[in-house]
A and B are shown apart, each in its own frame.
Chain A
């Protein structure tokens, strides 16, 4: 059974958002994609009931690192401290391949770290792989949250 992979894309670059959007559309990938401009907006979306309605579970966060107001690392740190959403699965999706960024992300329990590809062909293959991986993974049940 194919799982739906809803996406919260935290990305300040409109062009990147559009490229990803087009790629999903072209691939015919099911599910919803919600976009946040930066870390603060992403936290708002995750914590506000109204806004959450647009993003059904299960969802994955695709997180850029370099963003205004609140960058990816700050967001991740904040997320892991926030009740109810601390267990969210986050894949960092960024242009930076700086080892410092990579280490920091995993230290905050990122589920993966993916470097943004430079063409649509590579992007498609990444999305394919990510989806295939997602489909193989079990989803956490909300009722067992905070029980270890």
Chain B
């Protein structure tokens, strides 16, 4: 019982206990590893998706900027076309001609987002009165405004379509720095230029806008000086940034929102729009600078809800959830296994403790029985000897009577029969005592030599020298010699007892080494034993002879069997009626012999 009680304590020291089950290091390792794998798979897939959506974001930004630049190039083309027209007309064009040009451009269809297209002339102050005179021939209300200190005069002379831009006609763009500097820069570089942020005079909403210039010259000009000399005006287009952007790309189809600033001044703002696609916590954002016709625009870009919708994947969460479910199952399985294992172990411990207990009890009972048999036999000896002694006394006392003629011969016969029974009882008690001492005498005996032993047998049984033949490849019996002697003595004794003519008895004792053991055979030429009785003869008090004159106690073979089985062997018999009998058994040579059972010898 003690082992069962100490078992859980030991278990507690060796592993975790969960739900009453013991988890070993290996179990915990499996759980941790599979958890790590789940998390790794989850993280990996999430990272993959992040990488992919980042790529998409960058692609979308690139596309938006590309669109913007394409559109601006498109406008620039329209401006350069105007420049080409003016070159053909040598810088001099009339209002109707310009309107015809504008019509041919089909602005609303081909250039959405543009406010109009017009012509600005660069004038020296002294040229102004003549210029106004000339324009008033076509447009009686033409005037140049407002007055300013700058040396240049740059009136917007034509702008089409006229109606929405009417307020701009006659505006001197040189009155304001952004417009003026961009116009001069365009003239000086010979390139298209835009202005910094301005508010168009014709824009009712007063929102941010800019002008887009392309210069034209009076003659071919390649140097700065020539350009300054020959620069007579610019073709221009005014833009309201909001309208430009609306034309650029429908916002509902975009996945981005952006602001544009020019030199720190906001010219376009989508962030403050509060429509459905606003993502208060954008997945990605970034700032990009683009150089555009002499200005640097800074685009502040953020993803919107469309982007989020198209880049939100449940996959990593499925992986995580699936992994965690498997994890829970693994833990459950391990716990169940551990519990089953623990139960099996404790059940086995219980059963084996029970068995051990029973075995101990049996051994004790067996010992008590042997002790009982021994004591009883011993105590019987005294009265038996007494009966024998008394019978002899009677015989002595009746010696004269027996000698007389009137003596009854039955008296002598019956006294002899008593003596005979006394002898048998002595034999019997001796046999029972020997039998009960087999287990006890297994130790503490000196080895003996086999040839000497055979000599002793010959003299004990009064046999002549050639009646026992010893064939042996072993000189000495060292393992439990006392019981070996007992076994062979009893077998020879049986051969002697049951042989009809003792002088013709011949016994062969063969001892043959066989690894850690030796196989022993005792063979006689006696009357043999009917195979029917081969099992019965080993039972105690079973003798095959019966009636008068029997001198077997029926205990000899029981002693043989018990002695041999004490060391795990078995006694085999080969015999038939009239064919003699051969008894074989194995005997260990050392205490380490395979079938030796230490506890039984103890």
Contacts and interface: CB of A to CB of B under 8 A. Distances in A.
A13 B426 contact: no
Interface of A: 13, 15-16, 18-19, 22, 26, 95-96, 116, 118-120
Contacts of A15: 386, 389-390
Interface in B544-595: none
Nearest to A19: B389
Given A18-B393, A95-B381, A96-B378, A118 B386 contact: no
Interface string B421-450: 011001000000000000000000000000
Contacts of B371: none
A1 to B, nearest CB: 31
18 contacts: A15-B386, A16-B386, A16-B389, A18-B393, A19-B392, A19-B393, A22-B393, A22-B396, A26-B396, A95-B378, A96-B378, A118-B385, A118-B422, A118-B423, A118-B426, A119-B419, A120-B389, A120-B396
Contacts of B190: none
Contacts of A18: 389, 393
Nearest to B426: A118
Nearest to A20: B389
B196 interface: no
Contacts of B388: 118-119
Which of A22, A118, A120 lies at the interface centre, i.e. has the most chain B CB atoms within 10 A of its CB?
A118
Contacts of A22: 393, 396
B462 interface: no
Interface string B372-394: 00000010011011101110110
A11 to B, nearest CB: 11
Contact of A119 (B378, B381, B386, B392): B392
Given A95-B385, A119-B419, A120-B389, 13 more contacts: A15-B390, A16-B386, A19-B389, A19-B393, A22-B393, A26-B396, A116-B385, A118-B385, A118-B388, A118-B423, A118-B426, A119-B392, A120-B396
Contacts of A96: 378
A13 B393 contact: no
A95 B390 CA distance: 17
Contacts of B422: 118
A95 B389 contact: no
A126 to B, nearest CB: 14
Contacts of B419: 119
Contacts of A118: 384-385, 388, 422-423, 426
Contact of A13 (B378, B382, B396, B423): B382
Contacts of A19: 389, 392-393
Nearest to B386: A15
Interface string B390-403: 10110010000000
Nearest to B396: A22
A142 to B, nearest CB: 36
A96 B377 CA distance: 11
A60 B426 CA distance: 29
A91 to B, nearest CB: 18
A75 B138 CA distance: 170
Interface string B278-289: 000000000000
A110 to B, nearest CB: 20
A93 B384 CA distance: 17
A54 B414 CA distance: 41
Nearest to A15: B386
Residue from B389, B392, B426 with most neighbouring chain A CB atoms (10 Å): B389
Contacts of A95: 378, 381-382, 385
B577 to A, nearest CB: 35
Contacts of B384: 118
A111 B535 CA distance: 48
Contacts of B390: 15
A5 B230 CA distance: 176
Contacts of A120: 389, 392, 396
A119 B422 CA distance: 10
Contacts of B426: 118
Contacts of B386: 13, 15-16
Nearest to A26: B396
A16 B390 CA distance: 10
A19 B390 CA distance: 8
Contacts of A16: 385-386, 389
A18 B385 CA distance: 13
Nearest to A13: B382
A119 B425 CA distance: 13
B387 to A, nearest CB: 9
